[in-house]
Amino acid sequence: MSFVNYAAREITLKLVYYGPGLSGKTTNVRHLHGGTAEDRRGRLIELATDEERTLMFDFAPLTVGQIHGFALRFHVYSVPGQIFYAATRRLIVRGADAIIFVADSQEPRLEANVISLEHLESDLREHFGHPDAVPCVMQYNKRDHPEAVPLPQLQRTLNPRHWPEFEAIAARGFGVQTTSRAAIKLALRSTQRELG
């Protein structure tokens, strides 16, 4: 849920990249950070775990504009995907204005995607009362992989809620900006409804 700083006339929104370990969340966040003008972004903060990284940075995009005369700023987070970091994930999801679920398109990772989605639903219920309370976007990453599951099967298995969905090859930057823009748009729409 957005944070309003009346003194600075600024609204801060929180975008969270969620998904199984090594699905491409870190790669997405790094591309998003690298593609944001230096004077419009904060420092990329990286908290390393044994097998994965949790990243965070903030940015104030040029093209989004204002809401009710308030400038907009976004804090972007990625969560650690490994199952044993559940407490960290729950903490990061708290207060999210939009979630980007990064699914690994590889067939051997299908079950990990399903488990991670179940964890996301549980985290959303815990913090917001209902899994549909926060806008979510689905990104099917690693579409160039030889073992990539056909898109219709991924859609049936991973997106029964019919979230906006995008194909990506985050390692090449393909689909990163499109996915983040969709999540930002949903977060803004939800915030505008909240503020009236």
Per-residue confidence in pLDDT tens, the chain, 196 aa? 577 788 888 888 999 999 998 999 989 998 998 888 888 888 888 776 565 555 565 655 655 667 878 888 888 888 876 665 677 778 889 999 999 999 999 999 999 999 999 999 999 999 899 989 999 999 999 999 999 999 999 999 999 999 999 999 999 999 999 999 999 999 998 888 877 6
Question: Tokens standing for 91?
Answer: 């903490």
Q: How far apart are CA 154 and CA 194, in angstroms?
A: 33
- Give every CB contact of residue 49 below 8 A, 6+ residues apart in sequence: 80, 82, 85
d(CA 104, CA 63): 30
Query: Would you state the pLDDT for residue 99?
Result: 97
Do the bridges between strand 53-59 and strand 10-18 make them parallel or antiparallel, or are there none, so unpaired? Answer: unpaired
Identify the CA nearest to 164 among candidates 89, 91, 100, 83: 100
* Amino acid found at 86: A
Domains and their CATH numbers in the chain: 3-195 (3.40.50.300)
Answer left, alpha or beta for residue 23, where phi above 0 means left and psi between -120 and 50 means alpha: alpha
Query: Nearest Cα to 184, choosing from 5, 11, 14, 6?
Result: 14
- CA dihedral for 177, 185, 120, 110, sign (positive or negative): negative
